[in-house]
Amino acid sequence: MATYEGLFDGMGLRAWCDDGAKDGPMTMSELLAKAKGGELDTAWYDVPFPSLDNLHAACKAVPRTRDMTSGVEQAFLDVKAALQFVLDPLTQPLSWLLDGSLFLFGAIPWWVLLPLILVAVFAVSRSLGVTLFVAVSFLFLSFIDHYSYSVQTLSIIFVCTVLSVLFGVPIGIAMSKSDGLQRGMIPILDMLQTLPSFVYLIPLIFLFSITESKLYGIAIILYAIVPVIRLTDLGIRLVDRDVIEAADAFGMNARQKLFGVEIPLALPNIMAGVNQTIMMALAMVVIASLVSAPGLGVLVLRGIRNLELGVGLVSGVCIVLLAVILDRVSKASLSRINASQKS
Amino acid sequence: MSDKPKVRIRNLYKIFGTDPASVLDQAKAGLGKTEMLERHGHVLGLKDISIDIGDGEITVIMGLSGSGKSTLIRHLNRLIEPTEGEILVDGIDVTSYGEEELRQLRQMQMSMVFQKFALLPHRTVLENAGMALRVRGESAAAADAAATTWLDRVGLTGFEGHYPHQLSGGMQQRVGIARALTSNAPIMLMDEAFSALDPLIRTDMQGLLLELQQDLHKTIVFITHDLDEALKLADHLVILKDGYVVQQSEPQHILLNPADPYIEDFVSDINRARVLRVRSVMTPLDGRVPADAAGEVGYDDTLESVIAISGGDTAHAYAVLRDGTPVGMLDMKDLVRALVPRAASNGGMLSRAV
Ligand SMILES: Nc1ncnc2c1ncn2[C@@H]1O[C@H](COP(=O)(O)OP(=O)(O)OP(=O)(O)O)[C@@H](O)[C@H]1O
Ligand SMILES: [Mg+2]
């Protein structure tokens, strides 16, 4: 029958194989093979890889790959209740924050919000050029009726970036102080950064209801927090040894050193991390529209789903515009910091 | 030299490596730096260092690169922990200090000036200079007032609002010195403080330091690898090599009586006429009355100035006056002989005078 039957027979495991036989529903490939009818002898060069499915064909006691995936699913479902019990209340404030900020940004009339944004942009960048660019971009976005979508996207990015910095900077500082923690954290950060963004969504969908904002909030934060952690750690480790030594020699305690020397000197790196965090939050917020995140991503999704080419393309351009705005503004404030402390 | 040293270093050992204690005995038995590295994989940083650092004096520690100068000076404020030995500041062993006492020591007793300045780049000159007082928790106003005074003193009036990167190296080091002085600590540690500066600025800074020292009488530990600088500044000169003290004494004495070939090499290139002083080569009077002197020279004059007075004539002898009273005779022949570097072997006594 199957290629590997001889193997199990040879090892005298036939009894065990048949004993464990519990025929589940057939897999698609089994069905197909059956439909073809022929139990042709496989030529030697056609020997299939001894995968779970192929072994199963020879010996029913071996589980199939499908049994394994459903096992994983079952395991996940089994811990789901416990996880939910812990995580749900912990993450609830995230939903409130996201919903609150979406509501707030939506409720402020455009003729108040736009000037406010421009004032904020000027405050952090101190650059007339950048401010002008942002003004023109927003007028354009509003003119083509993408104002409310853009503001929703911005509001999500705003909340997620603030939270990423709030958690990321202390984690980065802790990592810079402890080599052990750094060794432990780096694989996690690598994983968070290399996991395709869709994969994040899968366990989250199981854990939380898809209608809750924290679902996409968590996905965005997990994805976007990595650079700010990494660069905070790097920045503090790169602080000039001589200056640290001077701080020690004058008797600074750990707190004075951290806030008076290390963080200020690491600030350019930390801000570079924040810049990247913002950009990654933007990338993720678009994908998160798959799990009901509002904003420009919804339009992109509509473009794909309904083949509305124009809608998809225009919203794509708007996202690019937002990206450029966010990048310019954060880079401008970064260079302002750099200028004030070259050594 | 005053009779009571401010800081005493007693039998200090420092070994870098994974398990210093395991090789300490070998170091004590006299294993050298290279053997230690080859056989045990440990770096012998300092070996049996004993130095008395006089109150109100400038003690210069000199040695080639890698001889352990920075390691030694960092033991005084315990930026580096000793493997064994005592460091007594005003008679109290600071190696036993806990964290809080150590911070007190660094805040109140010792200040430090660094080779690479090590100013806070994001703080103004004024804030940098007042750093020590801010660290102690004094008010910004008090810190700024003290800082302004000392910035004036080092010649930086008007630069208070600048940032360090806007200043030249020499000016940055003036800020570094002002920062150390503002802390008002009696002990000042200077690790190659002038090595990063160009020769002219360097001479300026040496002048500034000596001028300040005349009024302040700080206990200064100064590190350099430049013999000219060492001779100019030192009241007490310590020469380090591979982590141990080769010779230490008053600088003139080392110049005239180098203890070993290493030091002979060191001192052979120096302009001896400019460095040696009459007091080091004269013959004391011992109550006798000076006979047939061709003229009078000062006790602390350099030999160079005596040569100028004599017009190059080596036949004469001069009476040496100290505060107006004759204390010795200077034979020009002795003077000329002193100008030729002498081999250590016939130099006689090796002094480890402290
Ligand atoms: N943390 C350390 N670990 C291992 N070895 C060290 C360490 N610090 C210093 N050393 C070694 O101790 C020796 C003395 O170093 P130190 O920095 O004190 O020399 P130095 O006299 O100040 O030289 P330089 O003039 O170049 O500043 C060197 O051989 C160096 O390799
Ligand atoms: Mg050094």
Q: Which of A184-188, A208-212, B15-19, B77-81 has the lowest mean pLDDT?
A: A208-212
Interchain pair B110, A249: CB under 8 A: yes
* pTM, 2 dp: 0.83
Confidence of residue B290 (pLDDT cuts 50, 70, 90): low
Interchain pair A242, B114: CB under 8 A: yes
How far away, in angstroms, is A232 Cα from ligand 1 center? Answer: 30
Q: Is the dihedral of CA B215, B217, B221, B224 positive or negative?
A: positive
**For range A157-185, the mean pLDDT:** 96
Q: Which residue in this structure is represented by tokens 């570094």?
A: B176
Interchain pair A251, B103: CB under 8 A: yes
Beta sheet of B58-62, edge-to-edge order: B110-113, B187-191, B219-224, B58-62, B236-241, B244-249
Structure confidence at residue A49 (pLDDT): 87
Chain B: closest CA distance from residue A251 (Å): 5
Beta bridge partners of B321: B298, B326
Q: Which residue has the higher pLDDT, A81 or A43?
A: A81
Distance CA A88, CA A78 (A): 16
A274 CB neighbour count, 10 Å cutoff: 25
Distance CA A196, CA B175 (A): 53
A-chain residues near B132 (CB < 8 A):
250-251
Is residue A304 scored above 80 in pLDDT?
yes
Structure confidence at residue A2 (pLDDT): 64
Structure confidence at residue A23 (pLDDT): 60
Is residue A302 scored above 50 in pLDDT?
yes
Distance CA A168, CA A269 (A): 13
**For range B106-112, the mean pLDDT:** 95
* Whether residue B70 has its Cβ less than 6 Å from ligand 1: yes
Distance CA A315, CA A116 (A): 24
| Domains of chain A listed by start with CATH number | 2-63 (no CATH), 79-342 (1.10.3720.10)
Alpha carbon A180 to its chain centroid, in Å, reads: 25
Query: For the CA atoms of chain B, what is the radius of gyration?
Result: 23
Which uninterrupted H or E stretch holds B321?
strand B317-322
Given a contact cutoff of 8 angstroms between Cβ atoms, the answer to whether B62 and B265 are in contact is no
- Using a pLDDT cut of 70, give the percent of chain B over it: 94
Is residue B205 scored above 60 in pLDDT?
yes
Measured between alpha carbons, how far is residue A181 from residues A101, A170, A187, A189, B230 in Å?
34, 13, 11, 12, 46
Distance CA B16, CA B67 (A): 14
Which uninterrupted H or E stretch holds B322?
strand B317-322
Beta sheet of B43-54, edge-to-edge order: B43-54, B5-16, B84-89, B92-93
Confidence of residue B347 (pLDDT cuts 50, 70, 90): very low
Is residue B317 scored above 60 in pLDDT?
yes
B135 at the A interface (CB within 8 A)? yes
Distance CA A162, CA A178 (A): 25
Confidence of residue A203 (pLDDT cuts 50, 70, 90): confident
A-chain residues near B131 (CB < 8 A):
250
Confidence of residue A138 (pLDDT cuts 50, 70, 90): very high
**Closest residue CA from atom 17 of ligand 1:** B70
pLDDT tens profile B162-189: 999 999 999 999 999 999 999 999 999 9
Interchain pair A242, B105: CB under 8 A: no
Beta sheet of B325-331, edge-to-edge order: B283-284, B325-331, B317-322, B296-298
Interchain pair A246, B118: CB under 8 A: yes
**For range A164-168, the mean pLDDT:** 97
Confidence of residue A27 (pLDDT cuts 50, 70, 90): low
DSSP track, A9-58? HHTT-HHHHHHT----PPPHHHHHHHHH---PPPPGGGPPP--HHHHHHH
Confidence of residue A26 (pLDDT cuts 50, 70, 90): low
Structure confidence at residue A38 (pLDDT): 53
- Find the farthest-apart pair of alpha carbons in chain A and give their distance in angstroms, rounded: 87
Chain B: closest CA distance from residue A328 (Å): 24
**For range A264-285, the mean pLDDT:** 94
Contacts of A262 (CB under 8 A, 6+ apart): A173, A236, A239, A244
Which one of the ligands is nearest to B239 CA?
Answer: 1
The overall average pLDDT reported for chain B is 89
Q: Which residue in this structure is represented by tokens 């080859």?
A: B38
Q: A238, A240, A242, A250: which to substitute to probe chain B, counting the most B Cβ within 10 Å?
A: A250
A-chain residues near B106 (CB < 8 A):
248-251
Structure confidence at residue A25 (pLDDT): 66
